[in-house]
Amino acid sequence: MNIKQLRQQARERMNGVCRVCPVCDGRACAGELPGMGGIRSGASFMANVEALSQVKLKMRVLHGAASPGTACDLLGFSLAMPVLVAPMAGAQFNMGGFFTEERFAEIAVAGARDAGIAACTGDGTDEAFQCGLAAVARAGGWGIPVVKPWSGDFFFARMDQAAEAGCRAVGMDIDTAAFTALGKSRRPVSPKTPEELRAIVDGAHSRGLKFLLKGVMSPEDARIAEDAGCDALVVSNHGGRVWEALPGTACVLPEVARSVSRLPVLADGGVRSGADVLKMLALGASAVLIGRPCAIASVGGEEEGLVLWLKRLRRQLVESLILAGLADVSDAGPHVIASAPWL
């Protein structure tokens, strides 16, 4: 299988839900939710891709860094590159239904592990959460279940299950605090006060789990997350799926990263290539999450397809590091940026 075949097969299997466009930028699928699109106008999804395309890197090719390192440690995982597969629930209703929830979670978790990285798994329905958790358990805890910000004690029940399943980390996608699409589950979600967040983080730690807060878009929330004891946060607007009024994540990442002192800051939204990974790292991220391209690779080519796509991404990252003059991925920083209009 090659990338072209993988994409062709994904186009067929996605059943029209995802067109597998040459550039995955949210235009063709605007407003398609359920589906793969961004909410309403799709503007926040498009803003993610547009913001990254406006970042230009500085080329440095007179140096000796011919084989740069890409490995990194994150939340107790040793990764071949600073990339995680983003949590994506709803294979049945978001991705054309070719794969069951169970099979999609299995592909994402096992494919990510086989490519030397790790996958997050999603939530929203009980089936989605349980299938993701089971896949992580089968992989010996190699993966991060990301739980919706359920109201009351239900979040703690999910953390109990994650701990029992052998997970080492758990996340919460706080950007879905007003997610109406969850109405079907008939279980309420809610924003969290700083005190509630601290209780959740303490609850994770007392169960032996590290805690990842996903969906931070402001320095104010980032500081609260740091004070609450989170182990990492993700600058994310949920791939533009929760609010059409948000800026591209790359635009807010530098300010968020500067606002915390010890907390690792991750980012997602619109990352499509090795150069995009380096752009996010240069803007202040320690690692990135990638959503839709991993869904396309998983649906199009199962574990083999995801591994193929991720290995190509790593080759592109190595190429970008060489062209930026970096001997190691940890050397990325603002000095490799040639221009970003908002900086």
Ligand X SMILES: Cc1cc2nc3c(=O)[nH]c(=O)nc-3n(C[C@H](O)[C@H](O)[C@H](O)COP(=O)(O)O)c2cc1C
Q: State the nearest-atom distance from the C-beta of 71 to ligand X, in Å.
A: 22
Q: State the nearest-atom distance from the C-beta of 208 to ligand X, in Å.
A: 22
Instruction: Give which of 106, 99, 114, 96 is closest to 130, Cα–Cα.
Output: 106
Q: State the nearest-atom distance from the C-beta of 64 to ligand X, in Å.
A: 34
Q: State the nearest-atom distance from the C-beta of 24 to ligand X, in Å.
A: 7
Residue with tokens 């358990």: 137
Please tell me the distance from the alpha carbon of residue 160 to that of residue 181, in angstroms, as a whole number: 25
Q: What is the DSSP string of 301-326?
A: HHHHHHHHHHHHHHHHHHHHHHHHT-
Cα dihedral 287, 51, 56, 223, rounded to 10, equals -40
Q: Which two tokens stand for residue 101?
A: 């929830």
For ligand X, give the closer residue by CB, 137 or 290.
290
For ligand X, give the closer residue by CB, 95 or 257.
95
Sequence-distant (≥ 6) Cβ neighbours of residue 286 within 8 angstroms: 72, 74, 82, 232, 264, 265, 266
Please tell me the distance from the alpha carbon of residue 279 to that of residue 281, in angstroms, as a whole number: 5
First to last CA, the chain: 42
For ligand X, give the closer residue by CB, 294 or 340.
294
Give the three-class secondary structure for 7. Answer: helix
- Give me the residues that bind ligand X (CB under 6 A), please: 36, 48, 86-90, 94, 122-124, 146, 173, 214, 236, 238-239, 241, 268-271, 289-292
For ligand X, give the closer residue by CB, 201 or 326.
201
For ligand X, give the closer residue by CB, 270 or 325.
270
Q: Which two tokens stand for residue 94?
A: 């978001």
285 φ, ψ (degrees, to nearest 5) = -85, 150
For ligand X, give the closer residue by CB, 70 or 236.
236
For ligand X, give the closer residue by CB, 95 or 260.
95
